[in-house]
Structure 1
Amino acid sequence: MTQGLGPELEHTPGRSYDPTQKPPPFGRQLKQYFALDKEYVNLNHDRTQPDKFHRLLYKPMLVKSRENQEVVAKLIGSDVDEVVFVPNASHAANKVLRNFEWRDGDLVIGPSTTYGQAFNVLKYLSDRSEQPKPTLVSIQYNFPLTDAEIIETFRTQLRQYKREHAGTQFTDVPSLSPGFTADVSARKNKIVAVIDGFTANPGALMPWRELVRICHEEGVWALIDAAHSIGQEPNINLREAQPDFWLSSCHKWFFAKRGCAVLYVPERNQHLMKSSIPTSHEYVSSSRNTCRPARISPNNMNVTPALALREWLGGEQTIYDYCHTLALEGAQRLAQVLSTKVMDENGELTVYMPNVQLPLPIEKQPGQVYSPELIAEINALFTRQLLLEWNTYTTHYFHNGAWWCRCSAQVYNELSDFEYLGKALVATCENVVEKLFS
């Protein structure tokens, strides 16, 4: 039988076959090897009962998904017509960034903490052969930082980039910015900033509302990559914060199944969303005699069970209180076990994802201790030992001269989990020192 599937899958129709045996005759006997309903006579090849789903069942489910949109819109403080579901946060970022009409001289800003895939989209836009294309610049964040330091770093570096491009007319600005004009011919270059709602590594809640305010004051488009926000960050109010775009993953902290994220585009910016990515049946060409903007159809219908589970557990505030308290207490306990420290000592940037330093050598100057090859080797050793020997895992990363771990406190965790993780990390760090630094 097919190797490595496990006994529960080896004999499942549509999942496996015995390559040592002669196949059955073509015809109905082969149906068991395809993911099709046993009783359905299928003459339009796809899975299960594809035409019944697409032609009869899908639309009522889509209406139900609209109800999901209403609930999510209420949760994040937006109008329902400003929210759509997309497969994931990366998909949402691509929808926004690839719908901008770029000019030579445009700038895209990706801070050093931008999630790798999102940063790769920015790199692609600046690397591509098609003209025109924007120039990619970065803002460096070296944690630990306070909210005030993050805000000042962002404002200072943003203004520095504008001074370096003083000859460029940055007049393509959001409608909420001073100097906005409805005259399209008067709009020249633009600046688009991707701003973390949470940074992934380190795990830190960013003062994104204040950064949005700075963007509007400076005439900069703000895309908030809030992949970790929904289900973790309390009191999200997009009507009040007024980002130009905002996205979040429902499958990270909100208990939805994978393949479910939300994209917020306020009505004032929906004219910019000319096409879904990839372009779908819903595309409306600008050459058509119509004023209806193209809209992105919702494609996820699994938020309702997640919402029901969260309500059963006591609701958003109950979940937040437990996970936030556990994150703070768990981080302190982990730091005690490791004999190190918590990155965010006053808890200002911590919601559910605390960061704790690992007991490994600290680098005073870049490249003094850790080469890219050594960093990769240490990461691989951590991954193997934590997963294969200790049956646990936490994100581990090198930042600002030191090694850190980013833990996730969830409703199914307890303080003892942090203590167990601490034992695993102590043993793993000792192994790293013995193998690579002795």
Structure 2
Amino acid sequence: MPHHYQRPISNQEIKWYKDPPPEFGHPMLRFFEFDPEYVNLNHGSFGALPRPVQAAYDALSTQIEQNPDYFFRIVYHPLLNDLRARLAKIVNIETDECVMIPNVAHGINTILRNFDWHTDDILVSMNTAYDSIQHAVSYLAKLSVHPTHSQVILTFPASHSAILRQFRSHLEDLSSTRTGSSRIVVVLDSIASQPGVYMPWREMIKICNTVGAYSIVDAAHSIGQETDIDLKAADPDFWVSNCNKWLYSKRGSAMLYVPFRNQHMIKDTVVPALVYPVPGLTVTPFVARFYWNGSADAALALSVDAALDFRKYLGGETRINEYCRALALEGGRRLAEILGTQVMDSPEIPGELTLNMVNVELPVNSKSSGSIYFLLQDELLVRSKVYATIFSHNGRWWARCSTQIYNEMSDFERLGEVLKGACAQL
């Protein structure tokens, strides 16, 4: 029988949990390493590592270096299995349907490059896809044997129902013209990055299923921000999510879900992996392809376990995300009031585009100028030490604000005053 191993719990980690958690808002800043003068309203881009998770990561790193052979040949395997089981439970899948990867771009590239593409295949993406995903799609569309690239152009503000009508019409038109052997493969967002909007991704998967298209869900922002993820019910063909953004793990940790029915399609990974045999423990061929590539920092993925412990200490997923979403809705309205503009919202159901990220229009007249981005970035990051993502969409400039347990309304007010003054100078 295999031994059961647990990740090391350091004295520093125990110290952080000896008292009940403080109230959400600025009292939570004690758990993070932020510059005391900095206001972070951009958690969605890079995440922010809590101090207890950093302590756990450091303890894991020390354990690895104390005896690398012992760790990788005996300890790593059961620790990784336990972590995959814990993540699988959160999103309602089987343990051997998920693996750990460095990031979402790595996962989606792996999926796309494992399709045996033919010239009559169609690869569909959205204009709101993240840059690295758009690059992957563009690369495939330029190969000597490549699929046809078809893009769904979404403009916001828009309602979920309008998005679904446009998406359904686009796929049905493609389906009506394809040949018998051609395939439609769709890359879609669960929560888009720019604009930072919550998409009706479950319904979009159903539309894919109806027309016989493969669905690949870029869920980079989902785990840790959505509280009701049930992948068995949603039934995507592939689903990939970062753990370092909203789930609080170390950067370089993400999960890939491939249901058993599609695992035969993943014939190799971007970087081939290996598994050291452990008595009494076995892995499926699919899981083995992602185990460890021989040079990656194993503690990155295992930090997810400590992140989940931290979230449990805080009160769990519902408590965390109820606070963040309420602040995003209220803070977005306050920021728009300060700027004299508007929140990017659904014209049909207020708030349906917003989870923990809210987009607020900036009072800028210029339609499109890269200099606006750099001028505002310099003002926010260098001079004022407050930041939210700045982007251009649909002929207007916007600020995407991410809310976290360490934010309060005063953070939106500080951002608003800085942006109001900066935009007046443009």
TM over 0.5: yes
C-alpha separation in 2, matches of 1:292 and 1:96: 16
C-alpha separation in 2, matches of 1:302 and 1:388: 31
C-alpha separation in 2, matches of 1:239 and 1:54: 37
Per-residue Cα deviation, 1:44-95 (whole angstroms, up to 9, x for no partner): xxx9998865421124133112111111111111111101010011111111
C-alpha separation in 1, matches of 2:338 and 2:101: 41
1:347 matched to 2:351? The reply is yes
Please, what TM-score do these two structures have when normalized by structure 2? 0.78
Question: What code does the residue aligned with 2:318 have?
Answer: Q
Per-residue Cα deviation, 1:363-389 (whole angstroms, up to 9, x for no partner): xxxxxx43xxxx211111111111111
Match of 2:265 among 251, 260, 272: 272
Contact 1:275-1:294 at 8 Å conserved across structures: no
**Equivalent in the alignment of 2:323:** 322
**CA 1:294–1:339: 2 relative to 1, 3 Å:** closer
**CA 1:79–1:62: 2 relative to 1, 3 Å:** same
What is the 5 A alignment of 1:208-287?
A: 208-281=201-274
Per-residue Cα deviation, 1:330-365 (whole angstroms, up to 9, x for no partner): 101111111111111510111000011101117xxx
Contact 1:274-1:294 at 8 Å conserved across structures: no
Per-residue Cα deviation, 1:166-209 (whole angstroms, up to 9, x for no partner): 4x22xxxxxxxxxxxxxxxxxx2211100101110111111001
Contact 1:62-1:301 at 8 Å conserved across structures: no
1:109 matched to 2:124? The reply is yes
Match of 1:420 among 414, 420, 423: 414
C-alpha separation in 2, matches of 1:294 and 1:421: 45
SS of the aligned residue for 2:186 comes to: strand
C-alpha separation in 2, matches of 1:84 and 1:53: 25
Per-residue Cα deviation, 1:140-187 (whole angstroms, up to 9, x for no partner): 100011110010010111222334x44x22xxxxxxxxxxxxxxxxxx
C-alpha separation in 1, matches of 2:78 and 2:264: 24
Contact 1:99-1:272 at 8 Å conserved across structures: yes
Distance apart, 1:296 and its partner CA:
2.8
1:356 matched to 2:360? The reply is yes
What is the 5 A alignment of 1:112-131?
A: 112-128=127-143, 131=144
Per-residue Cα deviation, 1:253-278 (whole angstroms, up to 9, x for no partner): 00001000000000010000111212
What is the 5 A alignment of 1:9-408?
A: 53-58=67-72, 59-128=74-143, 131-163=144-176, 165-166=177-178, 168-169=179-180, 188-281=181-274, 295-299=288-292, 300-344=301-345, 346-361=350-365, 369-370=367-368, 375-408=369-402
Please, what TM-score do these two structures have when normalized by structure 1? 0.76
Contact 2:274-2:288 at 8 Å conserved across structures: no
C-alpha separation in 2, matches of 1:261 and 1:50: 21
**CA 1:50–1:61: 2 relative to 1, 3 Å:** closer
C-alpha separation in 2, matches of 1:220 and 1:326: 37
The structure with the larger Rg is: 1
Q: What is the percent sequence identity of the aligned residues?
A: 39
> Which structure has the higher relative contact order (CA within 8 Å, separation 6+)?
2
Q: Point out where structure 1 has 5 or more consecutive residues left out of the alignment.
A: 1-46, 170-187, 283-290, 363-368, 433-438
Richer in helix (by share): 2
Contact 2:93-2:231 at 8 Å conserved across structures: yes
Contact 2:119-2:146 at 8 Å conserved across structures: yes
C-alpha separation in 2, matches of 1:337 and 1:315: 33
**CA 1:189–1:52: 2 relative to 1, 3 Å:** farther
Distance apart, 1:281 and its partner CA:
3.9
Distance apart, 1:137 and its partner CA:
1.1
Contact 2:175-2:211 at 8 Å conserved across structures: no
Contact 1:228-1:252 at 8 Å conserved across structures: yes
C-alpha separation in 2, matches of 1:56 and 1:356: 52
Contact 2:391-2:398 at 8 Å conserved across structures: yes
Per-residue Cα deviation, 1:114-133 (whole angstroms, up to 9, x for no partner): 111011101001113xx321
Contact 2:63-2:71 at 8 Å conserved across structures: no
Question: What code does the residue aligned with 1:336 have?
Answer: E
Contact 1:88-1:260 at 8 Å conserved across structures: yes
Count of matched residue positions in the alignment of Structure 1 and Structure 2: 347
**Equivalent in the alignment of 1:179:** none
Deviates more, 1:381-390 or 1:216-225: 381-390
C-alpha separation in 2, matches of 1:62 and 1:228: 27
Contact 2:272-2:289 at 8 Å conserved across structures: no
SS of the aligned residue for 1:251 comes to: coil
**CA 1:100–1:54: 2 relative to 1, 3 Å:** farther
C-alpha separation in 1, matches of 2:273 and 2:77: 16
Contact 2:335-2:360 at 8 Å conserved across structures: yes
**Equivalent in the alignment of 2:11:** none
Contact 1:112-1:139 at 8 Å conserved across structures: yes
**CA 1:293–1:338: 2 relative to 1, 3 Å:** closer
Distance apart, 1:431 and its partner CA:
1.9
Contact 2:273-2:290 at 8 Å conserved across structures: no
Q: Point out where structure 2 has 5 or more consecutive residues left out of the alignment.
A: 1-60, 276-283, 293-300
SS of the aligned residue for 2:398 comes to: strand
Runs (4+) of structure 1 exceeding 3 A deviation are 47-54, 291-295
Contact 1:84-1:263 at 8 Å conserved across structures: yes
SS of the aligned residue for 1:277 comes to: coil
